[in-house]
Chain A
Amino acid sequence: MSDDKKEKEIDVNVVVSKVTNDVSRRSFIKTTGLALGGLAMMGMIPPGIRSAAWAAGSDAPEKTSLKIGFIPLTDCASVVMAGELGLFKKYGLDVTVTKEASWAGVRDKLVNGELDAAHVLYGLMYGVQMGIGGPKKDMAVLMSINNNGQGITISNQLRSKGVVDGASLKKLIDKIDGEKREYTFAQTFPTGTHAMWLYYWLSAYGINPFTDVKNITVPPPQMVANMRVGNMDGYCVGEPWNARAIYDKVGFSAATTQDIWKDHPEKVLGTTLEFTQKYPNTTRAMLMAVLEASKYIDTISNRPAVAKVISRKSYVNAPEDVIEGRFLGDYDNGLGRKWKDPDYMKFYNDGTVNFPYLSDGMWFLTQHKRWKLLKDDPDYLAVAKKVNQIDIYKEAASQVKVPVPKDVMRSSKLIDGVVWDGSDPKKYANSFKIKV
Chain B
Amino acid sequence: MKLRIMLVDADLQRMDLLMNTLQDTGHWVIACNDEAGSLCKHVRDIQPDVIIINTDSPIRDTLEHLCVIDRDEPRPVVMFTHDNDKQKMRAAIRAGVSAYVVDGMTGSRVQSIIDIAMARFEEHRTLKNELEKATATLAERKKIERAKGFVMKQRDCSEDEAYRLMRKMAMNGNKKLSDIADNINIAADIFV
With A114-B88, A226-B37: A217-B55 Cβ-Cβ less than 8 Å: no
**Contact B91 A105, beta carbon cutoff 8 Å:** no
**Contact B56 A105, beta carbon cutoff 8 Å:** yes
In angstroms, Cα B67 to Cα A216, docked, is 11
In angstroms, Cα B91 to Cα A217, docked, is 28
In angstroms, Cα B91 to Cα A135, docked, is 14
In angstroms, Cα B100 to Cα A108, docked, is 11
**Contact B98 A102, beta carbon cutoff 8 Å:** no
Expressed in whole angstroms, the minimum distance between the Cβ of B148 and any Cβ of chain A is 41
**Contact B60 A105, beta carbon cutoff 8 Å:** yes
Cβ-closest chain A residue relative to B37: A231
Question: Within 8 Å of chain A (Cβ to Cβ): is B95?
Answer: yes
Could you give 25 example pairs across A and B, Cβ below 8 Å?
Answer: A101-B60, A103-B61, A104-B60, A104-B61, A105-B57, A105-B60, A114-B88, A133-B68, A134-B100, A135-B96, A135-B97, A189-B61, A190-B69, A210-B69, A216-B40, A217-B36, A217-B61, A217-B62, A217-B65, A217-B69, A219-B36, A219-B62, A222-B35, A226-B37, A231-B36
**Contact A105 B36, beta carbon cutoff 8 Å:** no
Cβ–Cβ < 8 Å partners of A229 in chain B: 37
Cβ-closest chain A residue relative to B77: A104
Question: Within 8 Å of chain A (Cβ to Cβ): is B132?
Answer: no
Cβ-closest chain B residue relative to A225: B37
Cβ-closest chain A residue relative to B64: A104
Question: Within 8 Å of chain B (Cβ to Cβ): is A147?
Answer: no
Question: Within 8 Å of chain B (Cβ to Cβ): is A112?
Answer: yes
Those of A180-208 within 8 Å (CB) of chain B: 188-191
In angstroms, Cα B59 to Cα A229, docked, is 17
Cβ–Cβ < 8 Å partners of A134 in chain B: 64, 68, 100
Cβ–Cβ < 8 Å partners of A104 in chain B: 60-61, 63-64
**Contact A112 B68, beta carbon cutoff 8 Å:** no
Expressed in whole angstroms, the minimum distance between the Cβ of B98 and any Cβ of chain A is 5
What is the 8 Å Cβ interface bit string for chain B, positions 36-51, against chain A (1 contact, 0 not)?
A: 1100100000000000
Cβ-closest chain B residue relative to A222: B36
Cβ–Cβ < 8 Å partners of B107 in chain A: none
Q: Which of A101, A103, A191, A216 touches B56 (beta carbons < 8 Å)?
A: A101
In angstroms, Cα B64 to Cα A102, docked, is 10
Expressed in whole angstroms, the minimum distance between the Cβ of B51 and any Cβ of chain A is 13
Those of B97-154 within 8 Å (CB) of chain A: 97-98, 100
Q: Which of B58, B62, B67, B92 touches A112 (beta carbons < 8 Å)?
A: B92
**Contact A218 B64, beta carbon cutoff 8 Å:** no
Interface size classification for chain B: 20 to 34
In angstroms, Cα B69 to Cα A210, docked, is 9
Residues of A within 8 A of B (CB): 100-105, 108, 111-112, 114, 132-135, 188-191, 210, 215-219, 221-222, 226, 229, 231, 373
In angstroms, Cα B67 to Cα A132, docked, is 10
Cβ–Cβ < 8 Å partners of A226 in chain B: 36-37
Interface of A is mostly: loop
In angstroms, Cα B9 to Cα A101, docked, is 13
Cβ–Cβ < 8 Å partners of B63 in chain A: 104
**Contact B64 A105, beta carbon cutoff 8 Å:** no
Cβ-closest chain A residue relative to B69: A190
Residues of B within 8 A of A (CB): 35-37, 40, 55-65, 67-69, 83, 88, 91-92, 95-98, 100
Q: Which of B61, B67, B92 touches A102 (beta carbons < 8 Å)?
A: B61
In angstroms, Cα B62 to Cα A64, docked, is 35
**Contact A218 B37, beta carbon cutoff 8 Å:** yes
Cβ-closest chain B residue relative to A72: B58
Cβ-closest chain A residue relative to B38: A231
In angstroms, Cα B68 to Cα A78, docked, is 30
Expressed in whole angstroms, the minimum distance between the Cβ of A188 and any Cβ of chain B is 7
**Contact B97 A188, beta carbon cutoff 8 Å:** no
**Contact A219 B61, beta carbon cutoff 8 Å:** yes
**Contact A101 B65, beta carbon cutoff 8 Å:** no
Interface centre among B55, B62, B83 (most CB of A within 10 A): B62
In angstroms, Cα B95 to Cα A112, docked, is 9
Q: Which of B35, B40, B58, B95 touches A101 (beta carbons < 8 Å)?
A: B58
**Contact A219 B58, beta carbon cutoff 8 Å:** yes
In angstroms, Cα B65 to Cα A191, docked, is 9
Q: Which of B35, B37, B55 touches A108 (beta carbons < 8 Å)?
A: B55
Q: Which of A101, A112, A189, A216 touches B57 (beta carbons < 8 Å)?
A: A101
Cβ-closest chain B residue relative to A218: B36
Cβ-closest chain B residue relative to A191: B68
Interface centre among A100, A132, A216, A226 (most CB of B within 10 A): A216
Expressed in whole angstroms, the minimum distance between the Cβ of A408 and any Cβ of chain B is 30
Cβ–Cβ < 8 Å partners of A219 in chain B: 36, 58-59, 61-62
**Contact A216 B65, beta carbon cutoff 8 Å:** yes
With A101-B56, A190-B68, A215-B69: A108-B98 Cβ-Cβ less than 8 Å: yes
Cβ–Cβ < 8 Å partners of B98 in chain A: 108, 112
**Contact B61 A188, beta carbon cutoff 8 Å:** yes
Expressed in whole angstroms, the minimum distance between the Cβ of B131 and any Cβ of chain A is 25
Cβ–Cβ < 8 Å partners of B59 in chain A: 102, 219, 222
Cβ–Cβ < 8 Å partners of B91 in chain A: 112
Cβ–Cβ < 8 Å partners of A218 in chain B: 36-37, 61-62
Cβ-closest chain B residue relative to A186: B36
Interface centre among B61, B67, B100 (most CB of A within 10 A): B61
In angstroms, Cα B101 to Cα A384, docked, is 26
In angstroms, Cα B54 to Cα A100, docked, is 13
**Contact A132 B95, beta carbon cutoff 8 Å:** no
In angstroms, Cα B62 to Cα A217, docked, is 5
With A101-B56, A111-B97, A219-B59: A189-B64 Cβ-Cβ less than 8 Å: yes
